[in-house]
Structure 1
Amino acid sequence: MSFLSSNLKLLRKQKGITQNELAEKLAVQRTMISAYEDGRSEPKLQTLKLLSEILDVGLEELLDHDIETKGRKAIQKRGINILTIATNDEKENITMVPQKASAGYLNGYSDPEYMESLPQFNLPNLSQNATYRAFELAGDSMLPLIPGTIVIGSYVDQLKDIKSGKTYVLVTATEGVVYKRVFNYLNENGKLFLVSDNDHYKPFEIRAEDVLEAWESKAFISTDFPNPGDKKKPITLEDLGEMIQDIQADLRKIKG
C-alpha cells in the first residue's frame, strides 16, 4: 500500500469531498480518514472496496500506482493501438460517424464489425502520422459551423495533451459525442471545461474518466459557403486570454 495515503488524499480533494464527508460515507471517525492519509493506519479490505467505489478508482491503482506523479491509469492507457480502424490497400481510411449514428458509436466504437459498417473515405494533404475520424455536427452550439458540417479530428493519445482553447470532438459516457472548445484543468481537478462558440449555450465540466475518446479538430467539410459580408473577426491571443479569464470566473462560481 505504498501509494494509498497520497492517492487517497489527492483523489478526495479532486472529488471535492471533505474528510468529514468521507468519514460519514465510510461510517468511521474523521480522525481515521486523517490517519489513512498520513499513513498511520490502513483500511480493512471492505473499507478499501468502498473507497474504490466512492473515488471511482480501481483497487490496484489506488494502492500501487503513483497517481500524483504519473497521472490516472485511465488516461495513460488511451493509445492509438487500441483504436478500431478501417484500411484500404494498407492505407488507413477516415471513418465517418453521421449524426444519426452517434448514439450507436458510443456502444460500437471498439467493435470492428460495427466500425466497418460506417462510411469510409480519404482526404489528401493530411499528415500520415495520425489517425483521423469524421463526425457530423448537430445543433448550432458551435456557430459559424452549421448543423451537418463534418469535422475531421486526429486522435489524441493522452488527455493531458489537450490544448486549452482548441476545439475537440469528445466521445463521452455522460454527454454522448460533443464538439466543443476545451480547456484543460486535469492537473487541478481532473476535469475538462467545455465551451460552446455560441454564447447562448452554457459551458460545463466533464470528468476525465468519462471521456472515451478525444479528437483534435483538423479540418471540416461544409456545404455552407461563407458570405464575404458575414466574415467574423478571427480570434486573437487577447480574445483567448479574455475567454480563459471568463471561464475561470465561471469555474469559481460553480465551485462556490
Structure 2
Amino acid sequence: MKPQKVFFGANIKFLRERRKLSQEALAEQLGLTRSKLNALENGQTKAPQPEDYLKFSDFFKISVDSLLKIDLSRLSELKLRELEAGNDVYMTGSQIRVLAITVDKENRENVEYVPVKAKAGYRSGYADPEYLAALPRFSLPNLPQGHTYRMFPITGDSMLPIPEGSDVVGQYVEDWKSIRPGTPCILILKGDQDFVFKEVTVQPDGGLLLRSYNMLYEPYTVRAEEVLEIWKFHSYQSREIPSAESNMEQLLKLMTLVGREIREMKGMRR
C-alpha cells in the first residue's frame, strides 16, 4: 500500500505566512520554542506529539485531519474559509468540496432555479447532486462560457429599481477576493437568515460589507463564516418595467444619504 503524503509541516508554514506571523511570534503564542516550530515546519520532527497537532488545529481553526492530509496552499480563499468555519463535512480524503452542478444531454451545465419554497432546503442540499437534480433547470442563451450559473428569486425593495419578485441569474464566485468593491451579488447565508441580494465589498479583515441600491436601507457587515456561497449578478428577469423615481423619492433618498454621512463623520470624530 502506497504511503499517504503528509502535509503538516508545509501547511503550518503556509498558514503562518498567510497570517503574516514570524516564527518567533507564532512559537510564543503556542508556547513552543522557535527551534521546535522550525523543525516542525521543515519536517525534521518525524513524530510530532498529539498535543502539537491540537495546538495548531485550535490556533488556525482547521481540523487535524485537514492539516495532515490536504495541501492547503493549493486551495482557493473560499475553500480555506470553509475549512476555518468547520466545514470539513465536504472532504473525503484530499478531495475538498466543489460546487455541485447538473448537466444536459450534451454535457452542458444547466442553470438551476431555486424557488422561494426551496430556500430552506438549499442550505443543507446545495452540495448534494441529488438535491440539485430535483430543482427546476433550464439553459439560457449567450451566457459566458467557463462559469456556473444559478437563478434565485428576490424579495423586498432593497435593490430597487430591480423590482421585488425578479429572478436574478448569478455567476458562482469561488475566490471572494476577486469581487470588486460594490459588486451586486446573491449571498447564501447560514442558519435561518434569508438569501440576500446586495452590493458586496470584501473588507481587509475578511468581512463583507453589504449595501442596498435603495438608500433607505442601512449598510451592514456579515462575517465570512456566515456565508455559504456568493453568486455575482449577471442578469435578471422580471414581468415589471422599472419605473422612474419621483422627485419626492429622489429627495427622500438624498436626505437619507446625507444623514447617514453626517452620522459616519460624527462617529469618526469620537
TM-score w.r.t. length of structure 2: 0.62
Q: Which residue of 2 aligns with 1:7?
A: 15
Distance 1:39 1:114 in 2: 49
SS at match of 1:91: coil
Q: Which structure 2 residues correspond to residues 236-247 of structure 1 after superposition, within 5 A?
A: none
Residues 1:125 and 2:142 are matched in the alignment = yes
Q: 1:206 to 1:65 in 2, by over 3 A?
A: same
The structure whose residues are more often strand, as a share, is 1
Residues 1:213 and 2:219 are matched in the alignment = no
Answer whether contact 1:86 1:95 (CA < 8 A) is retained. no
Identity of aligned residues (%): 28
Residues 1:179 and 2:172 are matched in the alignment = no
Structure 1: gaps (5+ residues):
14-18, 20-29, 234-241
Query: How far is 1:153 from its partner?
Result: 0.8
Rg larger for: 2
Q: Which residue of 1 aligns with 2:101?
A: 84
- The number of aligned residues is 220
Query: How far is 1:49 from its partner?
Result: 2.3
1:45 counterpart letter in structure 2 = P
Q: Which residue of 2 aligns with 1:161?
A: 178
Distance 1:50 1:126 in 2: 47
SS at match of 1:189: coil
Query: How far is 1:52 from its partner?
Result: 2.4
Distance 1:2 1:145 in 2: 48
1:134 counterpart letter in structure 2 = M
Q: Which residue of 1 aligns with 2:114?
A: 97
Structure 2: gaps (5+ residues):
1-8, 38-47, 84-94, 251-256
Q: 1:74 to 1:227 in 2, by over 3 A?
A: same
SS at match of 2:208: strand
Residues 95-123 of structure 1 show CA distances to partners (whole Å, capped at 9, x for unaligned) of: 11112211111111122222122112222
Q: 2:62 aligns with which of 39, 57, 79?
A: 57
SS at match of 2:122: helix
2:80 counterpart letter in structure 1 = A
Distance 1:31 1:212 in 2: 32
Q: Which residue of 2 aligns with 1:39?
A: 34
Q: Which residue of 1 aligns with 2:80?
A: 74
1:196 counterpart letter in structure 2 = S
